């Protein structure tokens, strides 16, 4: 006997967009709950293509570079959540998202220790001139040992100044104090409580005192318009001529043109940069100075950490769109009608 085909429609599953290539298991996890529009070819969409792909989607898995602003939101009325797999969220216009009823989420905590490790890797490579000396060796220029060859700056026992004392700043302070016997100065929008300062062995100072007193300055603050060019020509002029500057925070926090000039004239000794103004473009003057270590925004890049970051973004999408509550919300949007 032939059964009549059921005419009862299944409830439509929400659709989500995954804006960039990602671990295949992320797509599998999302497909349990959603219709998934993926981009495993890793095409870099124009802003208009991003809008087109987002139309009709309830959620988006993002990698921290896709700009979400009022104009985009107005064209994507079904959108309810944008989940960054990064801790930074300067790609989000949060007030516009709140007004449009769209939740933003980020991925804090899961990358703290890995990113702090990298801050130290970059500090050590910069102060001890690791990449500069490797280039010399690879170029076949090493033909004898010399007493002053690639003499760098001490790290152990020196003074580290950390600007931005959130989770990652604190993890760096602990490595510095307990691993390398460094004195740690920090500057932050707000001072830490006494117990946290003691755990980090860190002393709060104003920015000027930090810049003048530190042998190494590490930037770990989030980007905001107020943080734009936190380090520019006047700040570089206050640093010791033997100092190094490390930026693992965000491009735009340092004035890269002013930094290149300070490196060329040896106003400061060296810099280590993982992030750049206008990245992936790098200021050409930085490419032509020897006393800078350059890496392509990889501070959180270990396999385990990148999987944990992606997994948190997946959980945020599922928890919000299926259960109504995200794990790491950044704003409290008014629900969309």
In angstroms, the CA 77 to CA 111 distance is 32
Q: By CB under 6 A, what part of segment 144-173 binds ligand DGY?
A: none
Write each residue from 63 to 102 as x if it is in contact with ligand DGY (CB under 6 A), else as -, in one continuous string.
Answer: -x---------------------xxx--------------
Q: Give me the catalytic one of 113, 279, 307, 327.
A: 279
33 is catalytic: no
Residue of 53, 129, 175, 250 marked active site: 250
The catalytically annotated residue of 53, 216, 283, 297 is: 297
Are 172 and 202 within 8 A, CB to CB?
no
Q: Is 113 a catalytic residue?
A: no
Judged by beta carbon, residue 221 or residue 259, the one nearer ligand DGY is 221
Question: For ligand DGY, which is the closer residue by CB, 88 or 333?
Answer: 88
Active site residue 250: yes
Strands in 202-250 per DSSP E = 202-204, 216-219, 244-247
What is the distance between the alpha carbons of residues 124 and 132, in angstroms, rounded to a whole number?
12
Structure tokens at 72: 């985009």
Cα(324)–Cα(319) distance, rounded to whole angstroms?
6
Residues 213 to 242: which contact ligand DGY by CB under 6 A? Answer: none
Give the sheet arrangement for strand 59-62, strand by strand. Answer: 35-37, 15-18, 59-62, 81-84, 103-105
One of 111, 262, 310, 318 touching ligand DGY (CB under 6 A): 111
Query: How many residues bind to ligand DGY according to rule CB under 6 A?
Result: 7
Interface positions, 28-67, toward ligand DGY (CB under 6 A): 64
Say which residues have a Cβ less than 8 Å from residue 73's Cβ, sequence separation at least 6.
Answer: 79, 96, 97, 100, 102
* Residues designated catalytic: 250, 279, 297
In the complex, the residues that contact ligand DGY under the rule CB under 6 A are: 64, 86-88, 111, 299-300
């Amino acid at each position: 006997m032939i059964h009549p085909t059921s005419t009862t429609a299944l409830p439509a599953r929400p659709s989500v967009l995954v804006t960039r290539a990602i671990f295949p298991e992320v797509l599998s996890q999302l497909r349990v709950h959603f219709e998934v529009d993926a981009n495993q070819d890793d095409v870099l969409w124009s802003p208009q293509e991003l809008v087109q792909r987002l139309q009709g989607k309830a959620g988006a898995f993002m990698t921290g570079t896709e700009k979400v602003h009022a104009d985009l939101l107005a064209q994507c009325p079904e959108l309810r959540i944008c989940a960054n797999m990064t801790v930074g969220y300067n790609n989000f216009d949060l007030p516009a998202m709140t007004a449009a009823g769209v939740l933003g989420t980020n991925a804090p905590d899961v990358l703290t220790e890995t990113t702090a490790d990298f801050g130290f890797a970059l500090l050590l490579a910069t102060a001890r001139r690791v990449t500069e000396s490797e280039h010399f060796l690879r170029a076949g220029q090493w033909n004898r040992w010399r007493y002053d060859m690639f003499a760098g700056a001490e790290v152990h026992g020196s003074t580290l100044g950390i600007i931005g004392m959130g989770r990652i700043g604190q993890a760096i302070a602990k490595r510095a104090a307990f691993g390398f016997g460094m004195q740690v100065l920090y500057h932050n929008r707000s001072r830490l409580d006494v117990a946290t300062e003691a755990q980090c062995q860190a002393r709060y100072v104003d920015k000027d005192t930090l810049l003048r007193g530190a042998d190494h300055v590490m930037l770990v603050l989030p980007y905001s318009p107020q943080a734009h060019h936190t380090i520019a020509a006047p700040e570089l002029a206050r640093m010791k001529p033997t100092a190094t500057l490390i930026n693992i925070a965000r491009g735009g926090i340092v004035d890269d043109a002013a930094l290149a000039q300070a490196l060329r004239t040896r106003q400061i000794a060296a810099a280590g940069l993982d992030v750049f103004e206008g990245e992936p473009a790098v200021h050409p003057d930085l490419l032509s100075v020897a006393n800078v270590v350059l890496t392509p925004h990889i501070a959180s890049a270990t396999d385990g950490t990148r999987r944990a970051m992606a997994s948190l973004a997946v959980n945020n999408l599922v928890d919000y769109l299926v259960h109504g509550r995200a794990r790491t919300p950044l704003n409290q949007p008014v629900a969309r009608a």
